[in-house]
Amino acid sequence: MVETTTTTWLWLGFAGMALGTVPPLWQLVADRAPERRGHYLALAGITGVAAVAYGGMALGVGTVAVDGRPLYTLRYADWLVTTLLLVGYLWLVAGAGRRALARLLVLDAAVILLGTAAVVLPDPVRFVAFALGGLAFLGLARELVVTVPRRAAFAGPVAAATFEKLRNVTVVLWALYPVVWLLGPAGVGVLLPATEVLVFVYLDVVAKAGFVVLAVNGLAAAGSVGEGAPAADEAPASTAD
């Protein structure tokens, strides 16, 4: 059973994500430029998948107890799918080459899978998994801050500015997740389970719905100056890795 206050937060998460799905879907219909369709669909997927996950969590789907701690399997499944979409979108805006994409996706998946392992594994080992997840996150942040901009082939100044804004929001907000995780019931237990859920709902909504709104604005701005959007297959294949 999911406790009442927690359920309220989870429904708020559902509402925030559902609202965050409106702008990209709207633009999909309103902006007929074919080169931006994929972008709008990816963005709608980020908040859309999260809305479904939050709806499921609010209904108690996939929540199990591990050693007396709640494990929201839908949370980690959602994080896995949507963080891959988020870093994939950053890569798309940068146009940084296939190898950069492969590194981003592997590091991102490692962060979430190690984080999941850190909830389910027995006691000392799970903190090792957490530490490795933290290292993978540092690698991911380094890619986004150093490597991807170096390899980027932006479609123009609007895309470059959009990338920088989205990347900064992403790196700063994501850095708070391991902190909350560590303070929460799976870590040292300073935060009550309901508080942890509230904080993650807040972070998730800003990291996803906020990201999507900024990205849609960026696309509209790029479109209005005729900048176009870099298509994945136009990105130069970087060889010097």
Task: Give the number of C-alpha atoms closer than 13 A to the C-alpha of residue 155, restricted to the C-beta side.
Answer: 24
Q: Which lies closer to ligand RET via its Cβ, residue 134 or residue 230?
A: 134
Backbone angles phi, psi at 72, to 5 degrees: -85, 95
47, 17 contact by CB (below 8 A) = yes
Q: Which stretch binds ligand RET (CB under 6 A): 63-71, 97-105, 152-160, 174-182?
A: 174-182
Between 10 and 118, CB nearer to ligand RET: 118
Q: With respect to ligand RET, which residue has the nearer C-beta, 172 or 225?
A: 172
Verify binding: residue 115, ligand RET, rule CB under 6 A.
Answer: yes
Taking each helix axis from N to C terminus, what angle separates 157-183 and 98-120, rounded to the nearest 10 degrees?
10
Q: Which of 23, 178, 218, 230 binds ligand RET (CB under 6 A)?
A: 178
- Does 177 interact with ligand RET (rule: CB under 6 A)? yes
Contact track, ligand RET, 51-80, x by CB under 6 A:
----------------------------x-
- C-beta pairs of 162-167 under 8 Å, 24+ apart in sequence: 162/93, 162/214, 162/215, 162/218, 162/219, 162/221, 162/222, 163/90, 163/93, 163/94, 165/214, 165/218, 166/89, 166/90, 166/93, 166/211, 166/214, 166/215, 166/218, 167/90
Give the number of residues in contact with ligand RET, rule: CB under 6 A. 20
Instruction: Point out which span in 27-35, 191-199, 203-211, 232-240 binds ligand RET (CB under 6 A).
Output: 203-211
Using Cβ positions, the residue closest to ligand RET within the complex turns out to be 115
Is residue 185 exposed (0-12), middle (13-18) or buried (19+ Cβ within 10 Å)? buried
With binding defined as CB under 6 A, does residue 118 bind ligand RET? yes
Would you tell me which residues interact with ligand RET (CB under 6 A)?
50, 79, 82-83, 111-112, 114-115, 118, 130, 133-134, 137, 174, 177-178, 181, 204, 207-208
